[in-house]
Structure 1
Amino acid sequence: MTQRLPPSLTPLDLALAALLRGVEPVAPADLPLADALGCVAAGMPPLGASPPHDIAATDGWALRASDLVGASSYAPLSLTAPPVWVEAGDAIPERCDCVLDADAVDTAGPITEVLTEGFPGQGVRRAGSDIANGTSIVPEGMPVRATGLLLARAAELKTLSVRRPRLRVINMAGGVAAAQLVVDQARAAGAEVTMADAPGRDAASIAKVLDTTACDLLLTVGGTGVGRKDAAVAALADCGEVLAHGIAMQPGRTAAIGKIGSVPVVALPGAPDQAFAVWVGLLRPVLDHLSVRASRKSVALPLARKIASIVGMAEIALLAEEQGAWLPLAVGELSLQAIARADAWLLVPGDSEGFAAGAPVDAYLMWE
């Protein structure tokens, strides 16, 4: 049976604008390094140089290269005093600028002899060679990656200043796959996520768990259609305000948006493909706004074949990269197989009929 739709559809851009109206970014918080992974960096002080001075990169003898010119096993260079032995990580002694391997210096006899030349910087890790003075751990507005944590640990930091929106997800019976997909995506985007099940599918049962006291964004998953068991939107109306029910996007057109107090609420359809579409079209932009994330990077490639789209509906297109081009896998109707196979996605605006074959398009990587 054909699914009935809400009586009118709100354009996606207007729905997003209404959802974000009056919503402020979350405040920065200092989190332990492991907890900061994936979160969006707030302002952080620049790092000092690492290492702070020249250190030995290997175990060996610390010497000055200019004193070793001409030294070889055939013409050993005799030293008036034994050189200094250094271990990897030790500071380079004053006036020394290279470290020779253990077997490059003969200390067996009464006179120490050098058996090879050296060059400035040999076996030495220069001051600031790992981290230059003034380096930013993670630029403000960018997500904290494992490589950023490497810098933080090298600088012996214990916490990082980040923005971490709190997301509460309410799952209706039967929508576990869609809810978990959104939860996984949100956590990868740096959100702190809690998840609860609605005790029933009626409006009163759903309303009991629409608690916004400890979250910055509230989601419900399932029950957004107009069937007899679809009561998520009615529950939202009982607890707050419904801004729009029915979004001009495909898939995901039965989604709804609203507010409970000042907290934005998005009611997602329970099908995984529709939930995914609402994630990229509405939820991700809201989380980016809450965390003050910088613009996400897109990848521009020509289309391997044309994309045809319905005017008046924003449609999600799934793409796979093949031979330096974007190959469309699905548009508007997204199979789970296409979602799993896709490398990137593209939002076709509602005022567009699509894109011609060969046209360059900017697409966003699936899990970026």
Structure 2
Amino acid sequence: MTTGQRLTASLISLDEALIALLDGLEPVAPTESPIAETLGAVAAEVTVPCPFPQRDFAVTDGWAFCAQDLVGASSYSPLPLARPPVWVEAGEQMPSGSDCVVDSDLVELLGPMFQVSGEALPGQGVRRAGSDIGKDGLTIGAGRRLGALDLMLARAAGLKKIAIRAPRLHLINVPATAGSTVTAQLIVESARAAGAVVVYSQAEGRDASAVAKALDGERYDLIVTVGGTGVGHTDATVEALMASGRLIAHGIALQPGRTTALGKIDNTPVVALAGAPDQALAAWWTLVLPVLDRLSGHLHPTTTLPLARKISSSVGIAEIALLEKTDGAWMPLAIGDLSLERIVRADAWLAVPGSSEGFAAGTPVDAHMLRV
């Protein structure tokens, strides 16, 4: 029976922890996936075929004509047609020599002959070739998280697959004594939302040998464990990490998230998260997400707004602040102590550096969005 594990005597700073985790990491190789499986994934560079559309097509139902042939036609002076016009449905390719679509009520059949009683402009009712994507083409940039509009564009241009970078993450739940998997499921869902391919497993017990067994085996791009990082008598995740690989630090100058541990197995980064949701989320946001961003090449945007109220922080430890967007400013909801109710209410989060005492009201700050 383990007697518990100790935190390092001196907590490693958040900046030092992140540098150690990112050291030597490169984006994973792109893989091509069916479009239906890429929503939310991070794109490698995707070139959309051009021009698009490749040919003129009708955008309304009606009669296809060459506009020049209709000059002078009106209800007072209908123009007789030498041959029957061609009917087109919206989405159909325009017939050769035609450049406009005329409404059905402007064309009528009188005996054996058609006549048209109105003019039209070139391009009326028509989507021209190259009007959506010109000859210079279009590229979905690397690092962009693919949305529904990106997938629509790719399908419309005839693509069947899209190149993405999807890191493989092994999530190991170290079972809580109470049996709860709430935090592990939260991290699994957060990882999938971040574009990772997640393999979930659960250690057979909380002892070091059971956790080490879960850590060993197939290699992934990133390993994340949940639970067992404290100093209690049944906490053994850090001991298992030391047995399986190299421990970088146990104890981060981060509130919440102080008992987070970092290590590497061969060249694979390992982040051991605490079992409490707020502790795990703080380390997830500040340590795991940057690793996933590096592996996927994702360009993580922030939103800059002034603070509606000051934030006070303790020097020497990075603290997580939760923010709500109100009247074009960030309203602080909590700092350091993050209740689930405040987490759910928050629109964004901010890590106040350990070197800072906080920020004055009105200070513009870069916050990471929790909602899109």
Q: TM-score range by the shorter chain?
A: over 0.9
Structure 2 partner of 1:242: 247
Q: What is the aligned partner in structure 1 of residue 324 from structure 2?
A: 320
**Residue equivalent to 1:85:** 87
Aligned partners of 2:279, 2:138: CA distance in 1, in Å?
39
Shift of 1:28: 1.1
Task: Give secondary structure in 1 for the equivalent of 2:17.
Answer: helix
The aligned counterpart of 2:346 is 342
Give secondary structure in 1 for the equivalent of 2:238.
Answer: helix
CA distance in 2, matches of 1:26, 1:212: 20
Match of 2:97 among 71, 76, 95: 95
Alignment correspondent of 1:216: 221
Task: Give the Cα separation in 2 of the matches to 1:35 and 1:24.
Answer: 24
Question: Which residue in the other structure is 2:17 paired with?
Answer: 15
Contact 1:63 1:83 in 2 (8 A): yes
What displacement does 1:212 show? 5.3
Conservation of the 8 A alpha-carbon contact between 1:48 and 1:131:
yes
Q: In structure 2, what is the Cα distance between the partners aligned to 1:74 and 1:167?
A: 73
Is 1:61 matched up with 2:63?
yes
Distance in 1, matches of 2:46 and 2:227, equals 40
**Shift, 1:137, TM fit:** 5.0
Conserved in 1, the CA contact under 8 Å of 2:304 and 2:367? Answer: yes
Matched to 1:27, the amino acid is A
Give the one of 296, 299, 305 matched to 1:301: 305
1:123 aligns with 2:125: yes
Per-residue deviation, 1:204:
0.9
Return the letter of the residue paired with 2:308.
A
Aligned length: 364
SS in 2 for 1:186: helix
Task: Return the offset for 1:367.
Answer: 4.2
SS, match of residue 140 in structure 2? coil
* Cα deviation code 1:100-156 (max 9, x no counterpart): 121110123333211222112111011123333444352112122221111121122
Match of 2:336 in 1: 332
The question of whether the paired residues in 2 share the 8 Å contact of 1:137 and 1:148 is answered with no
After superposing the two structures, state which structure 1 stretch, 102-111 or 222-231, moved more. 102-111
Shift of residue 173, structure 1, vs aligned partner: 1.7
Aligned to 1:277, which of 279, 282, 288?
282
How far apart, CA to CA, are the structure 1 residues paired with 2:193 and 2:247?
A: 28
Counterpart in the other structure of 2:170: 168
Tell me which residue corresponds to 2:73.
71
Q: Which residue of 2 aligns with 1:311?
A: 315
Instruction: Quote the Cα distance in structure 2 between the aligned partners of 1:200 and 1:136.
Output: 52
Partners in 1 of 2:221 and 2:129 — Cα distance?
44
Say if 2:52 and 2:130, in contact at 8 Å, map to a contact too: yes
In structure 1, the partner of 2:209 is 204
Ranges of 4+ aligned residues in structure 1 off by more than 6 Å: none
Deviation at 1:169, TM superposition (A): 0.7
Task: Tell whether the 8 Å contact from 2:53 to 2:129 is kept in structure 1 after alignment.
Answer: yes
TM-score by length of 2: 0.93
Say if 2:323 and 2:334, in contact at 8 Å, map to a contact too.
yes
Q: Counterpart of 1:43?
A: 45
Contact kept? 2:47, 2:140, Cα under 8 Å: no
- Give the counterpart of 2:158 among 153, 156, 172: 156
Which of 353, 364, 367 is the matching residue for 1:360?
A: 364
**Which secondary structure state, in structure 2, belongs to the residue aligned with residue 179 of structure 1?**
helix
Unpaired stretches in structure 2, ≥5 consecutive residues: 1-5
| 1:232 corresponding residue in structure 2 | 237
The AA in structure 1 aligned to 2:288 is L
* 1:52 aligns to 2:57 (yes or no): no
Moved more, 197-206 or 61-70: 61-70
Kept in 2, the 8 Å contact 1:37–1:144? The answer is yes
Rounded to whole Å, the distance in 1 between the matches of 2:340 and 2:140 is 35
**Counterpart amino acid of residue 331 in structure 2:** L
User: What's the counterpart of residue 114 of structure 1?
Assistant: 116
CA distance in 1, matches of 2:351, 2:110: 74
In 2: Cα distance, 1:62 partner to 1:130 partner: 21
